[in-house]
Amino acid sequence: MLTLGISLAYAVLLARHVGQYFVFDFQNSVLLLVLVLPFMMTIALIPLTTAFLFIRQKRGNAIIAFSIIIALSIPLFSLAERANMNYQSSVFAEFTIDNKGTVNITCKPQPSDTRIFYLTSKSKELADVAKAKGTFLIDHYYVANTIVEKNYRFRKLHSLTIKKLEDKGLRLPLTWKAEQIKGDISFLEP
């Protein structure tokens, strides 16, 4: 029973990482040996242990069939959960506010990085929070810790939402569809 419990717990804990491997890191052969192979062995251990425990029971075949269904559903769930998944990360953002109230946002992984994407908004709340939390320097407000939430549908970025600037959350988070984002978004991949 202990082996069955440990294998179930291990399979559930690794399911998220295995799903991320198959969606984003499939080319990484080291993870195949370190992550996927032990995961598959653990999945195989669930019905084998159940068969060993319940083969001689009156309803043993039904319990074994149920354990096979559970064992197969764990990897399927790890892939299916990637169909619509949100990931959070932090970006460095520069906010420029023009006379009409338009906020132009330049985002990059860190200040010295050349991978940049651009967003535009007319949100007064965003302008106010950028002024309050940002460091003003030559017509820009710099915010080193801008929290964004990325919505991925498997490998494809669907939308990007600015949730918070430094420690100040936005009352109404701002969302842009992937088509509205201009520039290099390669660093946003989880």
Q: Which residue has the tokens 């490998």?
A: 155
pLDDT at 184: 92
pLDDT one-digit tens code per residue, 102-114? 999 999 999 888 9
Residues ≥6 apart with Cβ < 8 Å to 127: 95, 97, 101, 103
DSSP 190: -
User: Under a CB-based contact definition with an 8 Å cutoff, are residues 157 and 175 in contact?
Assistant: no
Extended beta strands in 48-183, E state:
85-97, 103-108, 117-121, 135-137, 140-153, 156-165, 168-177, 182-183
Quote the pTM value.
Answer: 0.74
pLDDT at 101: 86
User: Under a CB-based contact definition with an 8 Å cutoff, are residues 177 and 159 in contact?
Assistant: yes
Calculate mean pLDDT across residues 144-154: 92
Show the tokens assigned to 98: 């023009």
d(Cα 42, Cα 48) in Å, to the nearest integer? 10
Bridge partner list, 96: 104
pLDDT at 138: 86
**33: pLDDT strictly greater than 80:** yes
Burial 162-181 (b: 16+ CB within 10 A, else e): bebbeeeebeebbebebeeb
pLDDT at 55: 87
User: Under a CB-based contact definition with an 8 Å cutoff, are residues 147 and 167 in contact?
Assistant: no
pLDDT one-digit tens code per residue, 42-75? 999 999 999 999 988 888 899 999 999 999 999 9
d(Cα 162, Cα 103) in Å, to the nearest integer? 13
Average pLDDT value for the chain: 91
Residues ≥6 apart with Cβ < 8 Å to 38: 10, 14
pLDDT band at 3 (very low <50, low <70, confident <90, very high): very high
pLDDT one-digit tens code per residue, 71-125? 999 999 988 888 888 999 999 999 999 988 899 999 999 988 899 999 999 999 9
pLDDT band at 154 (very low <50, low <70, confident <90, very high): confident
**18: pLDDT strictly greater than 80:** yes
